Structure 1
């Protein structure tokens, strides 16, 4: 009679990891995003689909599976001459252009991703992203160890508000700030009835985006620029944000604070809420009310509501640091644009173009850091 084997006598095989390419966007993107760090869970299928709808391009997705479970999803779109085999991660400029990876993806999964990536492209652009991006950092480390050239250009410094620390340090907002805000609100009320509202994706999709766009069309961005950087007008990025609300999970992450005066939109703040982290995407106001600082009044109300809702950190991204410092924000991780160039002739060419790539960004504030934790983690 054959003696039965004990469970301890079986040899555990290492997990089987494979990477393969799918035409279009893979539905598994959502599964990976759900297992990604909280900061990256908005990187869902519809986020990338909205980018393709708004900005064009035809996507392919590298999917990495471990024992049949998707752990990394890398959508990419071609750009430049076909013979150059260049690709970029699609998305919206801010919060960032990255891709979802499970928190426990591991080096083996990123190794498999790099193997497949080298078969598909000569170079991949990822960014802008903050230093320490949890999807990019392990890929950079493995790529460098295997002879890939990694080029970065500095875009800007981010500004981050730690509301937990601010509250612990004597309370936030300060009593003097609240007193000044009440004074301005009193005078703003002389223009008409004030209404302060908070809106999420369903309400935004149902027409509230048009209210935000109406404010932008009266703001400095319309008066001083060609309007292409406006977030919610149809000549700006409005198509992207409207399309993003097609996913109810993603729509729940979209958040707007709106001030109306006698029913007319006067100021807004718009964010993406990612767990305990809030990405401040845009804010604007009607200059007709500029003397009473409606934008400032609104974003203070918005941040107080954020604290009540369990938000710990606000990432303001790049741009005018003046009002952000007044609020209490401090300089956070640098924002950079990356190009990963595969070994061989492409890497040789990449090294020669390093200086040109760096000069195409802003003045370098600091060298790239490999091990900087992302904001909010």
Structure 2
């Protein structure tokens, strides 16, 4: 076993993204490096000195520098994961986490929110416990998903939905020329990112929040995604569905196509046209395209303000926020604010801190 700490986001991440058991192909170096966070390091584990990598854990600093804590970063919130090789096993991963090079992970490191049913995350937690780490856990919400196969088989959309959407679009068309753009791959450029940012600037995000939830509104936010899109593999996975009125971009959905799963990352619409239900138009156009393209699942992420269920989404899987703590005494101190330790044989039983 060779275990090394590498500055930055190691190229081994790209190799593992193509073969990890969770089938998360977007877990590439550019995905983790969104925004070029300072102090990034990757713990790389391989069999022998020149063998194929079996695991890579990318981390960046978390919280005050004095704590030395770290976290697994990523371009898309809330999903976080670590890529492992399909044949990586618990014992060799535990050996790697006991290696002196693993001290680069600091006294504690965070992975989350992560899928509670992710086999790679479960394997990582088991290996960490075997290596002497405590793994604290707290619930982090539920993701809502649409079964595209079932929707396709059921003849989605219903005739009533089709008629309603047609009425909405006809009403919008009375105010100007309606058109659609689909952007992916080589179609990405600074002008497109600026248009998405302009939609967010004209939306409720700008008027009712501090803007932190936006993805494209500010130059630093756009720069974050520009770095991700510099990877041609990720540029092809990422897609924007843009609704235009007289050439003006007024609503969008921003998604990630990863094999059979399409992840909804962001969406927004101009508030001055809210009465025309343009957000509903672009959401349903995205779902219709996912169904037509043969996607198996449209994953809309955590939480539901009502529109997800209205589109046919149901609770799909739970998310969990994990903290790996090197020393048992420190883990006991952190339990009250983070969560109780995962115990072997508990089948990922997550309890809310402070509640019995």
Count, aligned residues: 341
Matched-pair contact (CA < 8 Å) for 2:144–2:300: yes
Matched-pair contact (CA < 8 Å) for 1:272–1:281: yes
**CA RMSD of superposed structures (Å):** 2.2
Match of 1:18 in 2: 2
Query: Which region of structure 1 is more displaced relative to structure 2, 93-102 or 67-76?
Result: 93-102
* Residue deviations 1:202-247 (CA, integer Å, cap 9, x gap): 3232421111111100100001011121011226632211111111
Please state how far the C-alpha of 1:73 moved relative to its aligned partner.
Answer: 1.3
Out of 116, 123, 133, which is 1:148 matched to? 133
SS of 1:357's equivalent? coil
- Alpha-carbon distance in structure 2 between the residues aligned to 1:210 and 1:262: 17
Matched-pair contact (CA < 8 Å) for 2:143–2:316: yes
Task: Kindly name which structure, 1 or 2, has the bigger radius of gyration based on alpha carbons.
Answer: 1
Out of 327, 337, 344, which is 1:356 matched to? 337
Match of 2:59 in 1: 76
Match of 2:43 in 1: 62
Matched-pair contact (CA < 8 Å) for 2:33–2:75: no
From the superposition, tell whether residues 229 and 104 of structure 1 become closer, same or farther in structure 2 (CA, over 3 Å): same
Please state how far the C-alpha of 1:148 moved relative to its aligned partner.
Answer: 2.2
SS of 2:34's equivalent? helix
Query: Which region of structure 1 is more displaced relative to structure 2, 87-96 or 135-144?
Result: 87-96
SS of 2:233's equivalent? helix
SS of 1:207's equivalent? helix
* Residue deviations 1:144-185 (CA, integer Å, cap 9, x gap): 3444221122222111111112333x3212111111100111
Matches within 5 A, 1:130-145: 130-145=115-130
SS of 1:238's equivalent? helix
Match of 2:68 in 1: 85
* Residue deviations 1:104-154 (CA, integer Å, cap 9, x gap): 222244223322375332111111212122332101122234442211222
Out of 98, 115, 130, which is 2:81 matched to? 98
Gaps of 5+ in 2: 341-345, 351-356
- Alpha-carbon distance in structure 1 between the residues aligned to 2:186 and 2:92: 36
Match of 2:319 in 1: 335
Match of 1:4 in 2: none
Please state how far the C-alpha of 1:193 moved relative to its aligned partner.
Answer: 0.3
Out of 190, 193, 211, which is 2:177 matched to? 193
Please state how far the C-alpha of 1:45 moved relative to its aligned partner.
Answer: 1.3
SS of 2:186's equivalent? helix
SS of 1:50's equivalent? coil
Please state how far the C-alpha of 1:103 moved relative to its aligned partner.
Answer: 2.2
From the superposition, tell whether residues 50 and 92 of structure 1 become closer, same or farther in structure 2 (CA, over 3 Å): closer
